[in-house]
Amino acid sequence: MHLQQALRNETRVESPANSPGSRRRLVLLTEIISPYRIPVFNALASQPVIDLHVIFLAETDPTQRQWRVYKDEIKFSYEVLPSWRRRLGNHNILLNGKVRSALQAAAPDVIVCGGYNYAASWQALWWARSHQVPFLVWVESTSADRRNRYRLIEFLKRKFILSCDGVIAAGTSSGEYVRGFGVDNGSLFVAPDAVDTEMFSSRAESARRNEEVLRKQLDLPRRFFLFVGRMIREKGIFDLLKAYAGLPAMLREEVGLVFVGEGPKRAEAERQAAVISPGSVRCAGFVQREDLPMYYGLAESFVFPTHSDPWGLVVNEAMSCRLPVICSDAAGCAADLVVEGLNGRVVPAGDPQALGTAMRQLATEAGLRLQMGDRSWDRIQLHSPEACAAGIAAAAQFCGVPRNV
C-alpha cells in the first residue's frame, strides 16, 4: 500500500479513547533535539487531541552531527535525560539514567518510541508493559537498510516491534518492511517523514532573488548538480564522482558538482575530484540548516545516490526548494517522494552508469528540469510537518488496549 492510499484509508471507527473532546497525554521518546523534528513536534503539540511531552535521550550527537540545537524554536514540553555516549567503530552506544522515573513523572496515556536500538527504548517498553500503557514504535527502517544484514540485530528488532501495540511507519518502504515481521494493517499507521517545507521554500526563493551576490559569496558554479549529506561511502559519493566524470567533456565545462556535508571520506573525494578535467567539483563542508536553502535555491538538480538510507530528508528539502531529484532506489523516501519521469529519476543504487545517464538528461533539458521542479513542490505538500504530526496523533488516538504480557 503506497503512502497516499494509506493516508486515504486512515479513517477508522471511533472508540471511547478517541471520542470528541478527549485529549491523550502522549510521551514521545527520541534520541536527540534534531532540527528536523522540532517543526513536527511543534505541529504535534498543537493538535487539540494531544497533550505532548518529549523525552530526549541527549541534546545532540557530536560524534556524528554538527547540528545547532534550536531550543528557541521549541514550543512543546520536553526534558533531556542524563546520558553517556561512546562510539565503537560503527556502533553507537548511548546509555541513559532516570528513564523510568521520567516516564512515571510524565504519566503517559500512550508512549511513542522513536526507534528500538537504545537501552532506553527497551526500558520504556518494559515500563509500559508493567504499567499497562499503550506503546508504539516509530520506524524508518526499510529492507534496503544495510544494517539488516546482522541476524542478531534483526532478531532483536523483530522482538521489539512485535511487542508493541502499534507501529508508526515513515512511508511505504518502512511500512512494507514491518509487515514482513508480521505487523498487520490494523496496528500500522503512517506519519510521512517531513521537514519545514515552508522555511526551505521561502529561503530558496530569497536566494534566487539574490543569485549573483550569493554565487560569488559561496563560490558556486553558474550551473551545478547538488549533493547534501555525510561524506561517507554509503551515501554513494564515489558513484556520483564517477558518474560526473563520465559526462561529456563539453557538458562538464558548463555544469559543476557541489557536495555539501562533512565526513571521513571528504579528503578522498576531493582527491578524486581534483583529477576530473574539464569540470568543476566543490566540497563546501558542513552547512547549518538555515543556510542550506541557499545551495538548493541556486542548484539545477539534486542527486542522492545513497546505498543505504532509512529515508533521506535531504530529498524533502530539495523538493521543498522546487528541484528535480535523481535518487537511488535504496533510499527509503524513493517510493513516496520520487516518481520516475514526473519529478525526477530513480536509479539503481551503486550504478554510476545509470546515474550518469539521468544526470545528462536533466543537465541538457531545461524545460524538463523546470517541470519536474514544479511537480516536486506539488508532491512535497503531502509531507509537511502537519501531515506527519497528524499521522502520529492518529496513532496515539486509535491505538488499542495494551496487551497482557
Phi and psi of 335, rounded to 5°? -65, -25
Identify the domain containing residue 328 by its residue range: 197-383
Give the long-range contacts of residues 342-345, CB within 8 A, separation 24 or more: 342/372, 342/375, 342/379, 343/319, 343/372, 343/373, 343/375, 343/376, 343/379, 344/372, 344/376
**What domain count does the chain have?**
2
User: Chain-centre distance of CA 164, in angstroms?
Assistant: 22
Whether residue 107 lies inside any domain: the answer is yes
Q: How confident is the model over 198-224, as a mean pLDDT? A: 97
Tell me which of 63-77, 87-101, 118-132, 268-282 is least confident: 87-101
Tell me which of 53-57, 183-187, 288-292 is least confident: 183-187
Let me know whether 153 and 13 are in one domain: yes
Let me know whether 204 and 133 are in one domain: no
Let me know whether 317 and 176 are in one domain: no
Let me know whether 98 and 238 are in one domain: no
Query: Over 50: is that where the pLDDT of 402 sits?
Result: no
292-350: per-residue pLDDT in tens? Answer: 999 999 999 999 999 999 999 999 999 999 999 999 999 999 999 999 999 999 999 99
Let me know whether 282 and 233 are in one domain: yes
Full-model pTM: 0.91
Whether residue 345 lies inside any domain: the answer is yes
Whether residue 404 lies inside any domain: the answer is no
CA distances from 244 to 247, 248, 359 (A): 5, 9, 8
Let me know whether 92 and 134 are in one domain: yes
CA distances from 163 to 55, 116, 388 (A): 21, 11, 24
Tell me which of 48-57, 113-122, 140-149, 264-273 is least confident: 140-149
Let me know whether 231 and 185 are in one domain: no
Whether residue 342 lies inside any domain: the answer is yes
Phi/psi region, residue 83 (left: phi>0; alpha: psi -120 to 50; beta: rest), is beta
At residue 398, the pLDDT reads 82
Res. 3 pLDDT band, cuts 50 70 90: very low
Let me know whether 188 and 68 are in one domain: yes
CATH number, domain of 261, equals: 3.40.50.2000
* 278 prior amide bond cis, ω within 30: yes
Phi/psi region, residue 251 (left: phi>0; alpha: psi -120 to 50; beta: rest), is alpha
Distance CA 140, CA 159 (A): 16
Phi and psi of 180, rounded to 5°? -65, -20
**Residue 316, amino acid:** N
Nearest CA-CA partner of 339 in 393, 376, 388, 298:
376
User: What share of the chain in percent tops pLDDT 90?
Assistant: 82
Distance CA 176, CA 143 (A): 8
Whether residue 405 lies inside any domain: the answer is no
Phi and psi of 56, rounded to 5°? -95, 140
Let me know whether 178 and 225 are in one domain: no
Pairing type for strands 325-328 and 344-347 reads parallel
Number of helices (H), then strands (E), belonging to the chain: the values are 17, 15
Let me know whether 72 and 177 are in one domain: yes
Whether residue 157 lies inside any domain: the answer is yes
Query: Over 60: is that where the pLDDT of 7 sits?
Result: no
Other beta carbons within 10 angstroms of residue 236's beta carbon come to 29
Look at residue 42 and give its three-state secondary structure. Answer: helix
Let me know whether 117 and 218 are in one domain: no
Let me know whether 178 and 201 are in one domain: no
Q: How confident is the model over 19-40, as a mean pLDDT? A: 87
Whether residue 90 lies inside any domain: the answer is yes
